[in-house]
Amino acid sequence: MSLRGEVVAIGDELLHGALLDTNSKWLAGALERVGVVAQRFTVTGDDPALCKEALAGACERADVVVVTGGLGPTLDDRTRDVVAELLGGPLWFDEASWQQIHDWLHRRGRPVPESNRRQAMLPPGARALDNQVGTAPGFAVRVGRATLFAVPGVPREMQDMVQRHVLPATAALPGLTPTAHWWLRVLGPSEAALGERIEAWMVPGRNPAVGITASGGLLTVRVVGTAATAAEAEAACAATAAELRGLLGDWLFAEGNADLPELLVQQLTARGATVALAESCTGGQIAAQLVDVPGASAVLRGGVVAYSNACKTELLGVPTALLDQHGAVSEPVVEHMAAAIRERLDATFGVATSGIAGPEGGTADKPVGTVCFALATAAGVRSWTLRIPPLGRKFVRDRAVYEVWRALLAAQRAPTD
């Protein structure tokens, strides 16, 4: 059995909706890669009693606890104090941590407020974890049955500290069970229809475990296996994926552990191919998700958010007569957009989108959820139309983006000339 992990995210801002807790998701994946399975996420405010309750419970249940947030210099940053109370001893001042805080601020020409000294206070028995991208040191300490790691809530500081300190320390713990993953990406069926087709593989207690995650019309079949060695876990996942592949048929369009934009960047890079984008209803989402991927500069030539008809005409040369005859949401228009952006930016692939995301704007012929796509290559331009369920503006736009990933990934399996 894998070591059990829990993540506790602390901060009133997470409860009030001012910030989204993205740290817990990232931490769960990082921990599982070294053999610790996250069994629970807890989000709590800054109230000391609530923090103490959350941390005490996590340390009773789990082998590894990672707590994010509450390590700043202000009075509402209470993680240090709460852990010290759980351990029954006073905080102690770590001179080395204070020097690092002082030097970090001094190198950037910033003043060193006295309140920053609070960040150098550690619970009894704690070992400081240095912070190379911020002022808040973390710490590691044993609390009950658990090894507790306290890290900053700022994502870039958290990720750096986890990679340099938490994962190496966790990987050295006894009792780890290697875990492997494989994702199969599906577009087309409902979650219920997909579940019925693969329900024999989704029984509780199966290893590898099989489950379905739905997001914006994209369905991901998750295969997660554990074994005595990483190679055995990977082999078990591969065997299950092979069994499922035949059942998924044309619904299946991508596989692997990378997110879809990352997978596309990898494939375009390997092929030496590039892409240019002419987005209307997707409003730049395709480009934004691509540039989130390191290395995207090698494959993304550029793009245009041609939202208005005037923009389509002025920037992409779409004839006014074509817009008048067919409307902006039409295959002839997106064909022209895709061909124009490909030619003007000298890309291997040109992609265009135009649609009606709602809640208004639909007609009997083109209801809300109608989205037209075009893909231009050296061989010509292909266009198609989807009627996406009108489940809200965000759903329609997200589903349209997934359709573009599907089309571009499929294009990598075809000749470009």
Q: pLDDT tens digit string along 382-402?
A: 999 999 999 999 999 999 999
pLDDT of residue 202: 97
Distances (CA, A) of 348 to 273, 284, 351, 380: 6, 19, 10, 11
* Rg of the chain (C-alpha set): 25
pLDDT value at 192 more than 70: yes
Check: CB of residue 402 under 8 Å from CB of residue 365.
no
Please, are residues 338 and 381 in contact by the beta-carbon 8 Å criterion?
yes
* Predicted local distance difference test score (pLDDT) of residue 20: 86
8 and 55 Cβ atoms separated by less than 8 Å? yes
What is the distance between the alpha carbons of residues 415 and 267, in angstroms, rounded to a whole number? Answer: 13
Model confidence pLDDT, tens digit, residues 201-251: 999 999 999 999 998 889 999 999 988 888 999 999 999 999 999 999 999
Cβ 177 vs Cβ 247: under 8 Å: no
Q: Above 60 in pLDDT, residue 114? A: yes
CA 160/CA 330 separation, integer angstroms? 47
**pLDDT tens digits along 121-133:** 999 999 999 999 9
CATH 3.90.950.20 domain span(s) along the chain: 260-411
The phi, psi pair for 225, rounded to 5°, reads: -125, 145
Residue 53 CB coordination number (10 Å): 14
Burial environment of residue 195 by CB neighbours within 10 A (0 to 12, 13 to 18, 19 or more): middle
Calpha distance 82→88 (Å, rounded): 10
Instruction: Give mean pLDDT, residues 308-317.
Output: 97
Question: Hunting for tokens 């989807």 — which residue is that?
Answer: 386
pLDDT of residue 230: 85
Percentage of residues in the chain with pLDDT exceeding 90?
90
3-state secondary structure of 90: coil
Residue 86 has pLDDT above 70, yes or no: yes
Question: Contact, 257 vs 179, CB < 8 A?
Answer: no
**Residue 417 clears pLDDT 80, i.e. is over it:** no
CATH architecture, domain 260-411: Alpha-Beta Complex (3.90)
Alpha-carbon distances of 86 from 28, 80, 107, 345, rounded to whole Å: 24, 10, 36, 61
Q: State residue 299's pLDDT score.
A: 98
**pLDDT at residue 2 in the model:** 66
Instruction: State the pLDDT confidence band at 147, using cuts at 50, 70 and 90.
Output: very high
Residue in 155, 409, 397, 162 with CA at minimum distance from that of residue 262: 409
- Residue 416: is its pLDDT beyond 80? no
Question: Is residue 101 classed as helix, strand or coil in its secondary structure?
Answer: helix
Residue 328 has pLDDT above 90, yes or no: yes
| Region 5-21 average pLDDT | 92
Which alpha helices (H) appear in 186-319, and where do they start and end?
191-197, 230-248, 260-271, 285-291, 309-316
Q: H or E segment at 186?
A: strand 179-186
Q: Does residue 99 have a pLDDT over 70?
A: yes
Query: How would CATH label the architecture of 179-255?
Result: 2-Layer Sandwich (3.30)
Tell me the pLDDT tens digit for each residue of 330-373. Answer: 999 999 999 999 999 999 999 999 999 999 999 999 999 999 99
Q: Which of 128, 136, 140 is nearest to 77 (CA)?
A: 136
Binning the chain into helix, strand and coil, the percentages to the nearest 5 are: 45, 25, 35
Predicted confidence (pLDDT) at residue 1 exceeds the cutoff of 70: no
Class of domain 3-171: alpha beta
Greatest Cα pair distance in the chain: 78
pTM: 0.81
Query: How many helices (H) and strands (E) are present in the chain, helices listed first?
Result: 15, 17
Predicted local distance difference test score (pLDDT) of residue 228: 86
pLDDT band at 415 (very low <50, low <70, confident <90, very high): low
Q: What is the DSSP string of 351-413?
A: EEEEE--SSS---SSS-TTEEEEEEEETTEEEEEEEE---S-HHHHHHHHHHHHHHHHHHHTT
19 pLDDT band (50/70/90 cuts)?
Answer: confident
% of the chain at pLDDT higher than 70: 99
**What local confidence, expressed as pLDDT, does residue 333 receive?**
98
pLDDT higher than threshold 90 for residue 7 = yes
Q: Is residue 176 predicted with pLDDT exceeding 80?
A: yes
pLDDT digits (tens, 9 = 90+) for 42-81: 999 999 999 999 999 999 999 999 999 999 999 999 999 9
Please give the full DSSP string across 141-159, using - where no structure is assigned: EEETTEEEEEE-SSHHHHH
CB atoms within 10 A of CB 262: 18
8 A C-beta contact, residue 101 and residue 135:
yes
Domain with CATH 3.30.70.2860 in the chain: 179-255
- The CATH 3.40.980.10 portion of the chain extends over 3-171
Mean pLDDT (the chain, rounded) = 95
